[in-house]
């Protein structure tokens, strides 16, 4: 897999279909994008959780396209696809059959019931020890085979947890991997893998058994020619540990650290992270979810493991986002919206920075110059603002950052200098030969320097964020280039259309 820029997108929200989103990428981004992460396009793509609750994880939603359309994308771009390992939809045929027939159903072993984890019952300590992404206990009562059963539902009552340690659970996941491998997928993203294995007496999150499960799935994926990206929001040292056991891990600490940097001019937390962060990271500032803060906080289960930011700094960061968005993010975050992801703030990254073009481009420059594979969310690639109309329509907090772009909106976005400058920056990251060389970072006292060198090829970012000073220097065909305002990159942008 190449380490150029990847674009993350919902097919139905950028183009409308799988072929259309590929056309947008080819026509509007050209060689600035080398990979595409297609967010869940399975049947249905518009369920209770925007495709993350599949009824059929092995069939594309026919409204979006076919497996041949997926193969066509993979023919020109590195393709990343989600494997939702923790749960399926409550509307799936397998679960409906379990409800009808109970334990006599051939699909019964696929689903994780309360008593499979707690056959002798659970104490208050057992239940309160369970790590939760949302308030309340992870159980929903369903009537199955004529009697009430408690099913594990880590996220929503419509997302039924799989017993990944059962034969049926293993076979289900292998069937998905087989289909993705046949479609030419380059990398799979294990969605919610940290919650997949539950064991009594533990937090049921990122336990030793979870690591074993991730190792097993990674091995099965590699046998089918795919590498593995793990999605875990957790303490930064857990991320470092995960990175030693998988191909790629998200750098979820980066978004809040960059926001802190640009809000305060304080470079030290980011420099501390650069010294220890995994080199096999996928770097992001925005995704289809909110902006995580747990990733830079102290370990709630071990106070001795401090965070990259202190509690007061995290509080200030969150309040700064709310202020920069004019309060829009507050309407979409936590108990204010139905998603209830209490460890995330919902806003577009552009809005979180006060819709400031230069600060936004500096944030992207920092992301692109760090080692790893950079991913840019489709709303972020178009420097999109908060979608308050969609939030009001659905009441789902994360929809503030899930705008549905019509073709004319995409074309209009490229009339803006910030979007053209970002495309030029993406092209530098995807094509410049210096990124095949050595990385170095330095700084302190408010200054941050990130640089790459490969023989005569060089690229260097020198910034004093607290004073708004930025210099980007690079070589091209033996000539030296420099800009002292990143927005000036718009003048160097070439439209592939």
Q: Give me the active site residues, please.
A: 191, 231
Q: Using an 8 Å Cβ cutoff, are 176 and 67 in contact?
A: no
* Cα–Cα separations (whole angstroms), residue 228 to 8, 177, 246, 474: 16, 11, 6, 32
Q: Using an 8 Å Cβ cutoff, are 324 and 376 in contact?
A: no
For the chain, the C-alpha Rg in angstroms (whole number) is 22
Calculate the CA dihedral of residues 212, 138, 250, 79 and round it to 10 degrees. 90
C-alpha–C-alpha distance, residues 98 and 112, integer Å: 12
Assigned token pair, 149: 């059963």
The candidate with the shortest Cα–Cα distance to 184, out of 221, 230, 225, is: 225
Assigned token pair, 461: 């970012």
Calculate the CA dihedral of residues 244, 247, 253, 258 and round it to 10 degrees. 130
C-alpha–C-alpha distance, residues 68 and 19, integer Å: 10
Number of CB atoms found within 10 A of residue 146's CB? 9
Number of CB atoms found within 10 A of residue 392's CB? 11
C-alpha–C-alpha distance, residues 13 and 378, integer Å: 9
Output phi, psi for 372, to 5 deg.
130, 180
The candidate with the shortest Cα–Cα distance to 489, out of 399, 447, 428, is: 428
Output phi, psi for 453, to 5 deg.
-135, 130
């Amino acid at each position: 897999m190449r380490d150029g820029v990847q674009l993350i997108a919902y097919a139905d929200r950028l183009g409308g279909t799988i072929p259309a989103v590929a056309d947008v990428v080819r026509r509007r981004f050209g060689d600035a994008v080398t990979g595409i992460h297609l967010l869940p396009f399975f049947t249905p793509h518009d369920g209770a959780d925007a495709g993350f609750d599949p009824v059929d994880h092995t069939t594309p939603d026919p409204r979006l396209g076919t497996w041949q359309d997926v193969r066509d994308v993979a023919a020109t771009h590195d393709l990343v696809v989600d494997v939702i390992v923790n749960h399926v939809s409550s509307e799936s045929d397998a679960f409906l059959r379990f409800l009808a027939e109970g334990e006599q159903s051939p699909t019964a072993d696929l689903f994780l019931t309360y008593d499979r984890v707690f056959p002798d019952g659970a104490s208050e300590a057992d239940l309160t020890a369970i790590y939760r992404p949302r308030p309340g206990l992870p159980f929903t009562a369903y009537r199955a085979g004529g009697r009430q059963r408690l099913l594990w539902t880590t996220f929503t009552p419509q997302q039924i947890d799989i017993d990944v340690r059962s034969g049926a659970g293993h076979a289900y996941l292998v069937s998905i991997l087989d289909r993705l491998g046949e479609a030419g997928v380059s990398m799979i993203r294990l969605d919610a893998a940290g919650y997949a294995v539950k064991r009594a007496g533990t937090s049921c999150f990122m336990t030793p058994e979870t690591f074993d499960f991730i190792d097993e799935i990674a091995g099965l994926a590699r046998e089918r020619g795919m590498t593995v990206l793990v999605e875990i929001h957790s303490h930064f040292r857990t991320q470092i540990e995960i990175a030693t056991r998988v191909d790629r891990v998200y750098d979820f600490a980066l978004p809040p650290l960059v926001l802190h940097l640009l809000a305060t001019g304080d470079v030290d937390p980011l420099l501390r992270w650069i010294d220890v962060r995994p080199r096999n990271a996928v770097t992001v500032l925005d995704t289809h979810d909110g902006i995580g803060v747990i990733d830079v906080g102290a370990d709630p289960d071990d106070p001795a493991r401090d965070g990259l930011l202190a509690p007061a700094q995290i509080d200030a960061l969150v309040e700064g986002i709310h202020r920069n968005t004019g309060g829009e993010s507050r309407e979409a975050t936590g108990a204010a919206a139905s998603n209830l992801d209490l460890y995330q703030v919902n806003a577009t990254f552009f809005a979180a920075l006060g819709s400031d073009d230069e600060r936004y481009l500096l944030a992207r420059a920092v992301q692109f110059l760090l080692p790893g594979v950079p991913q840019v969310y489709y709303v972020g690639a178009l420097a999109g603002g908060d979608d308050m109309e969609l939030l009001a329509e659905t009441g789902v907090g994360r929809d503030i950052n899930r705008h549905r772009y019509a073709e004319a909106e995409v074309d209009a976005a490229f009339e803006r200098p910030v979007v053209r400058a970002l495309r030029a920056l993406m092209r530098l990251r995807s094509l410049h030969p210096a990124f095949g060389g050595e990385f170095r970072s330095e700084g302190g006292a408010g200054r941050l320097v990130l640089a790459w060198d490969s023989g005569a090829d060089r690229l260097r970012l020198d910034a004093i964020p607290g004073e708004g000073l930025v210099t980007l220097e690079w070589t091209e065909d033996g000539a030296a280039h420099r800009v002292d305002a990143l927005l000036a990159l718009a003048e160097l942008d070439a439209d592939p259309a």
